[in-house]
């Protein structure tokens, strides 16, 4: 029996309607940008395995550091105890995080990183003697799948089954190009309407991932942060997808003049090796939890908080990220994406071609019939799989987000496959 069949008997996959999807492809090994399945087929991982992989699969340097740590200390309770990898990682993160970040709180994934950020901001105000219970978020936002993270995310078919139980959030329009003024008007209006009751504004800086790789400018985000700060609203940058070089700088917030109060990290933090999350905050926030009153404690933690092996993977990934050749690769990918956009300006199939650093996205022109593009999604996926490329569209948005180690040759193969898809569609 092959792995795909055995899987079909016992496993429930994420975001998958098993009735309608084919059997999953069983991956046996990974090396660099490639994944190999049980039949020996090779795939270029052009989506970095759900946006987590930075330096390629089974990276020998990360593997070495992880195995060294495993033989030294695999885990220890993180209340009342600490360890070298957690300390060193916090010290090093603070050297690259946006200005003002002073403390690191560890968790284990992106949803917990944002959940922690929201709880931190709400309790911050409570500890300071204020009653604030509203959060501002963008329409189309995605901050994770736990209840708090779902609540602050956009309402969609993903959240329909739970909508009655999600807490109420103020969703403001995304400041897409040309629509910045409307967003600024709405946030001002909401601040007035909910006078003194808004605890925080959470946002994916510059690129909204799951919402469809939607992009907006740093300038308007600077204005939004400035407005929030002037109105005693904490700002939370969800850098879960954008962090660690994705957008061309260490963090998307590095494009800003203003600084957020809280930053959420996960996905690429371990180079895609292990589940891990971190939430950083300013000294001002941390200080509000210091008290002789135990009621002001931040009562949050996970069994695997600050897992030493995950910290070792994160430290190793950061070593690789800091190498000059890695930043050069990021620049080269960014330049290639821009070149592809220039070349595809007149495409009849692709609209709204856009890029930010290593992320390239485009929308596929579809007729009104939404059923058509649902089938288009799986057709796209199969088209690329047959050509040995993993691309997983979001609705009618096709995007490329490769590991930084991808070569120009492989990146060109990905572009060529996209162009041949466009050709095929245009002949219909
Ligand atoms: C993926 C993602 C999350 C959730 O992370 P998980 O590890 O999947 O829970 C949160 N925020 C953003 C911006 C993300 O892209």
Query: What pLDDT does 315 receive?
Result: 98
Atom 11 of ligand 1, residue of closest alpha carbon = 143
Atom 10 of ligand 1, residue of closest alpha carbon = 143
Local confidence band at 370 (pLDDT 50, 70, 90 cut-offs): low
Which residues have a catalytic role annotated?
A: 15, 142, 238, 267
Is 373's pLDDT higher than 60? no
Ligand 1 center from residue 417 Cα (angstroms): 28
Query: What pLDDT does 1 receive?
Result: 76
Mutate which of 106, 110, 238, 394 to test ligand 1's pocket (most atoms within 8 Å of Cβ)?
Answer: 110
Mutate which of 210, 265, 267, 277 to test ligand 1's pocket (most atoms within 8 Å of Cβ)?
Answer: 267
Ligand 1 center from residue 144 Cα (angstroms): 5
CB of 144 closer than 6 angstroms to any ligand 1 atom: yes
pLDDT in tens, 313-353: 999 999 999 999 999 999 999 999 999 999 999 998 999 99
Query: What pLDDT does 427 receive?
Result: 75
Find the radius of gyration of the CA atoms of the chain: 22
Ligand 1 center from residue 267 Cα (angstroms): 7
Burial classification of residue 336, based on how many CB atoms lie within 10 Å of its CB (0-12 exposed, 13-18 middle, 19 or more buried): buried
Query: What pLDDT does 426 receive?
Result: 78
- Output the average pLDDT for the chain: 96
Atom of ligand 1 nearest to the CA of 277: 7
Q: Which domains does the chain have, with CATH numbers?
A: 3-58+324-424 (3.90.1150.10), 63-321 (3.40.640.10)
């Amino acid at each position: 029996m092959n792995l795909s069949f055995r899987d079909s008997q016992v496993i429930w996959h994420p975001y998958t309607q098993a009735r309608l999807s084919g059997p999953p492809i069983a991956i046996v090994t990974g090396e660099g940008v490639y994944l190999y399945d049980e039949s020996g087929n090779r795939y270029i991982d052009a989506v970095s395995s759900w946006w987590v992989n930075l330096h390629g699969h089974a990276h020998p340097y990360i593997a070495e550091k992880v195995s060294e740590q495993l033989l030294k200390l695999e885990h220890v309770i993180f209340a009342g105890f600490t360890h070298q990898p957690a300390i060193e990682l916090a010290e090093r993160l603070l050297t690259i995080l946006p200005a003002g970040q002073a403390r690191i709180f560890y968790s284990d994934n992106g949803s917990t990183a944002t959940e922690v950020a929201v709880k931190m901001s709400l309790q911050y105000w409570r500890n300071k003697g204020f009653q604030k219970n509203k959060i501002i978020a963008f329409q189309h936002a995605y901050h994770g799948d736990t209840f708090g993270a779902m609540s602050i995310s956009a309402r969609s078919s993903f959240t329909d089954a739970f909508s009655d139980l999600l807490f109420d959030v103020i969703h403001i329009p995304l400041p897409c190009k040309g629509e910045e003024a409307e967003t600024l008007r709405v946030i001002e209006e909401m601040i007035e309407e909910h006078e003194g009751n808004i605890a925080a504004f959470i946002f994916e800086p510059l690129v909204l991932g799951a919402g469809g790789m939607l992009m907006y400018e740093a300038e308007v985000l600077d204005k939004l942060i400035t407005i929030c700060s002037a109105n005693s609203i904490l700002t939370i940058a969800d850098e879960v997808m954008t962090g660690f070089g994705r957008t061309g700088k260490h963090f998307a917030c590095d494009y800003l003049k203003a600084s957020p109060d809280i930053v959420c990290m996960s996905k690429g933090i371990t180079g895609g090796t292990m589940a891990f999350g971190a939430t950083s905050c300013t000294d001002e926030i941390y200080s509000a939890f210091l008290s002789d009153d135990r009621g002001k404690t931040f009562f949050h933690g996970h069994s695997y908080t600050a897992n030493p092996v995950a910290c070792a993977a994160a430290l190793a990934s950061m070593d690789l990220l800091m190498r000059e050749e890695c930043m050069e690769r990021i620049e080269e990918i960014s330049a290639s994406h821009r070149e592809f956009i220039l070349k595809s300006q007149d495409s009849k199939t692709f609209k709204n071609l856009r890029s930010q650093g290593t992320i390239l996205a485009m929308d596929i022109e579809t007729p009104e019939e939404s059923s058509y593009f649902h089938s288009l999604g799986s057709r796209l996926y199969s088209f690329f799989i047959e050509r040995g490329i993993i691309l997983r569209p979001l609705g009618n948005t096709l995007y490329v987000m490769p590991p930084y180690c991808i070569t120009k040759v492989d990146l060109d193969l990905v572009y060529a496959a996209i162009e041949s898809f466009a050709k095929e569609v245009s002949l219909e």
